[in-house]
Structure formats: C-alpha cells, structure tokens
Structure 1
C-alpha cells in the first residue's frame, strides 16, 4: 500500500443543450419565474430532454463519456492509461447493464474493473473515496472517477404546477442534468493536485429520509405516489448545520486552521441555499467555488464541476476543502485538496 496521496490530473464536464432560463422553465411548467429566482436562486440549468417535445436528447452514459473524455484531455492521459472506472449516480440509465459499464464501452475501455455507486449528492465523493483507496492499494496507477445525473426523467411536463404547494414546486425547478469527471493518478501528473482526505459517513440512524427517489417495477408503476419526494424544510434546517460539522471535522483531521483554506467548495443545493451555507461556514479568507446557480442541481456532477473550475486556479501550496451533504439518509461527505 502506498503512503503518498493520489493526485487529480484533470477534470471535465458535460451539460446537455443550451441553458434553460427561468422564463423558459416558467412557461413550460406554469411556475412564476420570479418565485424561482427568489426562492430557489438558480438562474439557468441544462436538460437532457426537450422541454417542448419531451424528446430525450442525451443519456446519462453519453454525458458521462463526454465529461470523461474532456477530463482525460485536460489531464494529459490516454484511454490506454485508464486502469479502472468509478461512477456515482442516483439516476442510472438502466438497472442493468450499469451506466458505468456503458460509459466504459463508449470510451473504448475493456478488460478493467468498473464500479457504480448508487447515491445522491454524496455519490461523487464516495466515488473519489473508492478511487483514492484503489490508487492507495498500489495496484493501480490511473483511474477515471465520474459523477452525473439526469434528473429530468422525474420532471412531468404534462403536469400544471401553477397551483402546487411550494414544497412540491421545488422538485420541478431545482434540478438540472449533467456529468463531470476527474482523472486520478498515483504520481503527480497534469494539474497535480493532491487528494489528501475524503470523508464519507452515513449519519441518519433512526431518522426519516430527507429525499426519496423511488423505483417502479411492472407491478407498481401505475401507483399514484410520486417517484421523487423530499422534505425541503428538513433539508433547509439540517444541511447548513451538517455542512459546518463536516468542515470542522476535516480541518481538525488535517490539522488546518480556518485561515489555511484558500478555496471553499460548499454544498450545491440551489443558488439561494448555497449562498446561505457559504455564509454560515464563515471562511472569509477562502475563495468560494460554486456553479449551481448556472447549472441547476445536477446531483453527482456538481463536485466535479467545482473541481473543474478549481484546478486552474490553484497555485503551489494552496489548499481547498469541499463539503457535500446528501439528505436521502443524511450522509456527510467532503474532501481536501492541496497543490504540492
């Protein structure tokens, strides 16, 4: 087992179609554009499905493969260098075959281990955690880590949301689609940013889930229950508190002071919630790296979209902390980076 940390060599992303602004979303769903702007604070998002025709234009596998190709190009590695692939998602294209194996096929990868982690906003960090341990085992020198979600599969374009309660409206306007990826290497390569630590812990013992995404089989797909439900009030109350706990646990584990952090990657729930959480975390000397106001909440893509923004900005000796909270069963997640 190696004792030095793995490194992020490069990152990439894929967002389907042109940005959809609040006016277009308002026209499609019958929701006030002003309400979206004030309550959600997200200005644009990208959809893999056409809002007018309902046609699916891009699959999750398509988006993940595009993001992975960009990450490899930015990291200066070839497909032949990739020795494993890990994908985190809450919205796979199919139950079988896994989207991870489909992405490998699209990339021309064969005879290598592929892993798919079924999780929400923490899935990207779980994928990084697994990849860090695979590299640390000494068996692998280079791998692809991918996160992505296509949330519009849960957006019913036939439904008029104009009279829906705010808690129900959230599910229609919060999410977007997309994918992100990073190349992890055993030795410094490309961007050469060290992945020092990952945090991944389920903390929801005895607590009701904050978010549920259902799977419908042939026997129950015609039931009236929604496929996607969430307790947005519980999320608003809990996520800022959990984010602060994650931040201070990482700082304590690393032996860093708050002033040591040059970049903060806060949880990307919505434009409004992200602003509030960043203020709550109170790291005034850290530069915030956020994207959700322009991309929508595209789940497991978000940490990789943040990493893609971050890598070109980091100078020698600079440090970054990322915080992610998954409300499904209240999972704490995060990671620490340093440019050596």
Structure 2
C-alpha cells in the first residue's frame, strides 16, 4: 500500500435472521426424513426462512433483511446512515430482477443520492462486494460504505413441499430444505488517513471453473436462458440444482488454491492468522474431501484450528454466510481488536473463490 492510498477499516457488523429458528424435526414434517448419516453430514441443526412453511407465504423480504442488518451494523459502528455514500450488495435471490436490490436498500436507509452496486453471486458474493467497496474507499473516491450479503432461498423451496405428501417427496429433493436458510449480514467500512496502519491488506478473487460445468445452478426464476413459456411449463417454476458429487471432487482444490492466493494477497503467513472465517470449514465431510483429494496443504493445516463458521445454526446462506459468521464471531467474542482475520468463501456455482485479509478494527 502506498502513502496515497487510504487504509480501509471495518467499523461494525450486523446480522438479520427472519423468524424463529426452524429445527430438523419441523423440516422432517414438511419433506420427510433423511438418513441419519446424511443429516449428520449436512451438520445443519436449525435454519431461518422468510416463508411460512405451512403456506409458502412470505413474511419478510431480501431487502428487508438487508436493511435490518445494515441498521444494526451502523448503530454498532456509531455511524449515521446519512454519512453512507456507497452501498454494495451481494445476492443470488433479489426481490426483483430489476431494479437492483442495492437501490431499494439505499432508499430504505433514507439516502436520496448514493452510489449503489450489486454483485449477483452466491457464497463468494459478499467477499467480492467487500473488495469492490474497498477499492472505492482506498482511493478516496468514497468515505463510508455498507456492504451486505443477503439471501432468501426459502421461496425456491416452497414448490417442493407445500401441498404435497412428505413421504412421496424424492430423497434428492429433501436435501435442499434441510440445507438452506435465509439471512443477511452487513459490515460498515470507513476510510482512514493515508499512512495509517491496519485495515484490509489484500484480497484474492477468481473463477476457476473454465471448461467445467456448474456445481450449483438456479433454473427458471425469470432468467432469459430459455423462452418464458418453456420455463412456465416446467415441473418446477424455479429449481436449485446442486451437484453433490462434483462438489466433493472439485471443492477441495478450489479451497486450497483460494487459501493460498488469499494469504499471498494479504501478505501474511497462515500461522499469523488469528481467525479464518470459512463457511462449512468445520464440517467433517470437508476435511475428508480434502484428504481424499490430497489437498491437506501446509496452509490448510495451519489455519484449520482457527476456522470459524455457524453453519449448524443458520444453514447454508449463500452470500450471507461470511458476514453472518463474521458477526457471530464478534458477538460471541471469538475475534478481538487487532486480530488478523482471513475471510474465504468458496462458490460451486461456477467454481469461484473470494478471500480477504484484514486487521480487526471494530
């Protein structure tokens, strides 16, 4: 970092989860049971949904969750919403295809004029959005930014079970309701003065899926990949497809490459990291996949004891996973001032990773 660039500090975090936690017993009543070994492998005990599980009606919205997470982050940071001059959001499940959700969020914050950007992505989206905001603040183009990862995946699950006999639902269709949850996480970033120490030290972003089919794909939902009348005639108007076999094979290599690139971009050794936020990083199946792929690298072995995530409590939440875990780490005291924190998100949709290293300043 040169003297002309401003350090970017994380000033506060916030989170929003809709409704009360939904346990596995409640999901079993909706879609039927999973074999115990599969349920243990998922490791999700509770999740939150914006939908009413009995009717499928919406009780919240993506932009509503994002707004509540941002308001909490601003309050904790001691920053007034009027001081925000950049809003960057990441989501794969926006309220509408257009306008971007970031514009609705700025409106909810009472900002008549504000720069807004949106990253359409899943798990890696928040880290990508964070890096976009960092670049604006670092160069002095903006002063205060809010960055949000927010997902409402539960509406995509409704056609699988509402009005259906749980025992007649196929086993492969039961996986997603057990696995996915809704939620939003947010951070407030502020630009310091040139020459100040601390802040975000580097980021690494890459799509490494060239020549490889997506491991996760959302069909329908008004996309333009096929004629709309064909989409409407499909068995499910929206379908989230996850290739578990390919995920198990390829994810370890993406993690190893992403971790190595993130540490290099941040200029830190793995041993110097105090906390590594990696969604699903503590799942037993992941270590098994890494071992099977020969990807238990020295970097991984060094950071593994420091991995923090909250998958069991909130489920897989896409763009919201990293900021929800980061907020949980702060609230529970798992991270302290001046800690070196590495964020790493892996996305199977088209095999992406996003990583950031920062010194904790909140």
1:287 offset after TM fit, Å?
2.8
Question: Which structure 1 segments of 5+ residues have no match?
Answer: none
Q: 1:272-293: CA deviations, max 9, x gaps?
A: 5567689953236853321111
Q: Is 1:197 aligned to residue 238 of structure 2? A: no
Report the counterpart of residue 233 of structure 2 in structure 1: 222
CA contact (8 A) 2:7 2:198 kept: no
| Conserved? CA contact 2:248–2:289, under 8 Å | no
Distance 1:84 1:138, change over 3 A: same
1:58 deviates by 0.4
What secondary structure does 1:200 align onto?
A: strand
1:104 paired residue number: 106
Determine whether 1:324 maps to 2:336: no
Range with greater deviation from structure 2 (85-94 or 258-267): 258-267
Instruction: Find the partner of 1:235 among 228, 231, 247.
Output: 247
Alignment of 1:62-77 (within 5 A): 62-77=64-79
Instruction: Give, in whole Å, the separation in 2 of the partners of 1:274 and 1:109.
Output: 42
CA deviation after TM superposition for structure 1 residue 245, in Å:
1.7
Residue pair 2:273, 2:303 contacting (<8 A) in 1 also: no
Q: CA RMSD in A?
A: 2.5
Q: Any idea what SS the aligned residue of 1:110 has? A: coil
Q: What secondary structure sits across from 1:171 in the alignment?
A: helix
Pick closer, same or farther for the CA change 1:315–1:126 going to 2, 3 Å.
Answer: same
Of the structure 1 ranges 104-113 and 313-322, higher mean CA displacement relative to structure 2 is found in 313-322
How far did 1:33 drift?
A: 7.5
Contact 2:341 2:357 in 1 (8 A): yes
Change (3 A) 1:313 1:194: farther
Describe the SS at the equivalent of 2:27: helix
CA distance in 2: counterparts of 1:184 and 1:98, whole angstroms:
21
The separation in 2 between residues aligned to 1:314 and 1:278, in whole angstroms, is 26
Structure 2 length normalisation: TM-score?
A: 0.85
- What is the SS of the residue equivalent to 2:199? strand
Partner-residue secondary structure (3-state), 1:282: helix
Number of the residue aligned with 1:296: 315
Q: What count of residue pairs does the alignment treat as equivalent? A: 337
Change (3 A) 1:71 1:85: same
Gapped regions of structure 2 (runs ≥ 5): 223-227
* Contact map agreement 1:204 1:329 (CA 8 A) in 2: yes
Deviations 1:155-201 (A, max 9, x none): 0223456465654432232100001110010028xxx9722222211
Aligned to 1:129: 131
Tell me: CA distance 1:178–1:321, structure 2 relative to 1, closer, same or farther (3 Å).
same
Shift of 1:223: 1.6
User: What per-residue deviation string (whole Å, max 9, x for no partner) do you get for residues 15-51 of structure 1?
Assistant: 0010001011101111237456323111000010011
Query: What's the counterpart of residue 336 of structure 1?
Result: 357
User: How high is the TM-score relative to the length of structure 1?
Assistant: 0.90
